[in-house]
A and B are shown apart, each in its own frame.
Chain A
């Protein structure tokens, strides 16, 4: 049974706990298909969304998930807030908690920020992305999408391509996929592959064609120019020549291979428009699953029990 008070990363979850979240998300996915896609399971709970970094889809996805569960929601974003007046993260959290909040969803540019908060506040903390460290709900929605398309992930091959070094999405995906028995290959230009990444249980392949030759899924990461203070690759044109998933490259993959992207896309840089809009992509499905996964996480972290979920959804 799921008993975690927080969701900080996937590294600290067991395969059973991850599966329980995904099973719960399947149930909520059905709720989302209903004419009135709203259930009262988090009625009278208050959730604060703290976003210290720009975000559109993750913030909206969490907010929707919270509203679908009938929670009360307050939003806080860093621009123009007390953060710029020098308030520490601890003080910000204390102030929001003093307003009697039950759960905090936080995105923060510093790796470790979610754990920092969880160590200092009484509320549950859900990590919506901390620096380069973890983005557990993104990885969970990727797992849910993969499971819907491929079934059991044991022995399945997933290739993640792009800037692995700066990507919290990549790290959380590697943890989640390997825990569920999938084989993970990471691919990208050498400066984008961090030191000793193999110790996380994945393989490294610099040749894109080889990396995707037998993949069941390819997860294409956004080239995050905004995270790169120093030049780590020659530029988008050269990158696209070697690492863009376009029609030519897609031919190298098995026919059943699905194409994922966490968004937002740089069309024609890491993925060609043709592929991004093509029949193999499941990108918008990922977005829908994102709402269901976040509903599941909020429900389980707030003490909800999967076994009694059916009654709650009546």
Chain B
């Protein structure tokens, strides 16, 4: 007879059934046996092999799922490895992540997809789902062998930060993806408009004298992608929406019944172009941090369901790379270990969402976008769980990050809400209370 893992007397957050209240959850052999509001039934209390998780006052939610991370392996292991990335994901409350293909060599072959899956299996801390390249070498010229990549385990296709400029080629790639039933993730950015730009075009880029990226670079690219989604019937996922007008486009596409979904990052929700004022390269991201006018529209888009998910776009760089001057530093922000805290602080403590809605955006809906089970706390589901403290305020420190990247804009800032523990298939992959204390 197997043992039971029991969480009782804590706040249950299950967006799938709309449950939010004090209750209990019981797991057995990696699956949820029962999860309801109310006191723990006597049958479980009396169970001789019950193991209780001490979590008074905590909240329990389905583990988070991130639609967009960069783990840099193979090729850029100084920035991140699949192992260090998985450790960071576990510490952030994630059970599943979708890894972008921009390694070196990039994930444009079945062998590269299998490599990512093998390395993730060795780490064992997080389920890793590789996204394959759309075109060979991410060069926008020649299609990858879509069928081979899907057979090897690719869950979707994306050229990461390269927008496939050739509309005719993109159309055929989308037709292929639609045929195979996979999603296409297209970063909307017309490079002929963004050029050497390093931040959002507006009053702040003018003031700082930095080459700028107009909103039109994103909006026009997204408009084309939506039309191609209409033409091909593919499921188009628009990552890290940053502009007001892009939110409008997606809202309208959804109203027309097109298969379009979208996500947004915590950093675009918490910061704006003005945060670049000290030329701090932690705020250099792609797409760039936009204006407060755009940011308001992003929050509205989350509230009304236009934007489906929060994804952190975890993009680690070495401190040396990020210590270049602003125009030359690489784009990117890391977020796996701070996403929940930042989003909770911004959208729940200082914003319009309930904790239940936030969990839905970080767990239930990302799972649905990738057509996976999960993101739910009901009997029979895999026990992917995250234990949260919604009251604790804490300050993320560089010394405790598990990611190899240090380019995190929340370091040194107080955030309310913290991940206490993560369970993947009933197995604990992170427990804050058993973390070694930082050396300094």
Most chain A beta carbons < 10 A, residue from B208, B209, B212:
B209
The interface residues of chain B lying within 8 Å CB-to-CB of A110 are 325-328
Stretch at the interface among A39-47, A112-120, A215-223, A267-275: A112-120
A199 to chain B, nearest CB (A): 4
Distance, CA A299 to CA B207, complexed state (A): 28
Q: Is the CB of A111 within 8 A of B210?
A: yes
Q: Is the CB of A90 within 8 A of B323?
A: yes
- Whether A196 is near chain B, meaning CB under 8 Å from some CB there, is yes
Interface residues on chain A, size class: 20 to 34
The interface residues of chain B lying within 8 Å CB-to-CB of A168 are 209
- Whether A74 is near chain B, meaning CB under 8 Å from some CB there, is no
The interface residues of chain B lying within 8 Å CB-to-CB of A131 are 209-210, 327
Q: Is the CB of A133 within 8 A of B209?
A: yes
- Whether A134 is near chain B, meaning CB under 8 Å from some CB there, is yes
**Residues 95-143 of A contacting B (Cβ, < 8 Å):** 108, 110-113, 115-116, 130-134
The interface residues of chain B lying within 8 Å CB-to-CB of A112 are 208-210, 279, 325-327
The interface residues of chain B lying within 8 Å CB-to-CB of A230 are 195
The interface residues of chain A lying within 8 Å CB-to-CB of B214 are 195
The interface residues of chain A lying within 8 Å CB-to-CB of B327 are 110-112, 131
- Interface class of chain B by DSSP: loop
Provide the B175-213 mask, 1 if CB < 8 A to any CB of A, else 0: 000000000000000000001100001110111111110
B264 to chain A, nearest CB (A): 24
- Whether B435 is near chain A, meaning CB under 8 Å from some CB there, is no
B175 to chain A, nearest CB (A): 34
Distance, CA A110 to CA B281, complexed state (A): 13
Q: With A90-B323, A111-B327 given, is the CB distance from A132 to B209 under 8 Å? A: yes
**Residues 163-199 of A contacting B (Cβ, < 8 Å):** 165, 168, 171, 194-197, 199
Distance, CA A110 to CA B328, complexed state (A): 8
Complex partner residue of A195 from B196, B203, B279, CB under 8 angstroms: B203
Q: Is the CB of B203 within 8 A of A196?
A: yes
**Residues 325-382 of B contacting A (Cβ, < 8 Å):** 325-328
A174 to chain B, nearest CB (A): 10
- Whether B224 is near chain A, meaning CB under 8 Å from some CB there, is no
The interface residues of chain A lying within 8 Å CB-to-CB of B325 are 89, 108, 110, 112-113, 116
Q: With A132-B209, A171-B209, A195-B206 given, is the CB distance from A111 to B326 under 8 Å? A: yes
- Whether B51 is near chain A, meaning CB under 8 Å from some CB there, is no
Complex partner residue of B203 from A88, A132, A134, A199, CB under 8 angstroms: A199
Q: Is the CB of A111 within 8 A of B209?
A: yes
The interface residues of chain B lying within 8 Å CB-to-CB of A90 are 323
- Whether B324 is near chain A, meaning CB under 8 Å from some CB there, is yes
The interface residues of chain A lying within 8 Å CB-to-CB of B323 are 88, 90
The interface residues of chain B lying within 8 Å CB-to-CB of A199 are 203, 206-207
**Residues 190-233 of A contacting B (Cβ, < 8 Å):** 194-197, 199-200, 229-230
Provide the B278-315 mask, 1 if CB < 8 A to any CB of A, else 0: 11000000000000000000000000000000000000
Q: Is the CB of A196 within 8 A of B209?
A: no
Q: Is the CB of A134 within 8 A of B324?
A: no
Distance, CA A111 to CA B207, complexed state (A): 10
Distance, CA A5 to CA B209, complexed state (A): 23
B104 to chain A, nearest CB (A): 19
B327 to chain A, nearest CB (A): 5
The interface residues of chain A lying within 8 Å CB-to-CB of B211 are 132
Provide the A137-159 mask, 1 if CB < 8 A to any CB of B, else 0: 00000000000000000000000
Distance, CA A163 to CA B211, complexed state (A): 14
Q: Is the CB of A200 within 8 A of B209?
A: no
Q: With A88-B324, A112-B326 given, is the CB distance from A195 to B208 under 8 Å? A: no
Complex partner residue of A196 from B202, B279, B324, B328, CB under 8 angstroms: B202
The interface residues of chain A lying within 8 Å CB-to-CB of B326 are 110-112, 116
The interface residues of chain B lying within 8 Å CB-to-CB of A195 are 201-203, 205-206, 212, 214
Residue contacts A-B, CB under 8 angstroms, 27 given: A11-B207, A90-B323, A108-B325, A110-B326, A110-B327, A110-B328, A111-B210, A111-B279, A112-B279, A112-B325, A115-B279, A116-B325, A130-B209, A133-B210, A134-B209, A168-B209, A171-B206, A171-B207, A194-B205, A194-B206, A195-B212, A196-B206, A197-B206, A199-B203, A200-B207, A229-B196, A230-B195
A interface vs B, CB < 8 Å?
A: 11, 88-90, 108, 110-113, 115-116, 130-134, 165, 168, 171, 194-197, 199-200, 229-230
Extra contacts besides A112-B327, A194-B206 (20): CB < 8 Å: A90-B323, A110-B325, A110-B326, A110-B327, A111-B326, A111-B327, A113-B325, A115-B278, A116-B325, A130-B209, A133-B210, A171-B207, A194-B205, A195-B202, A195-B203, A195-B205, A199-B203, A199-B206, A200-B203, A230-B195
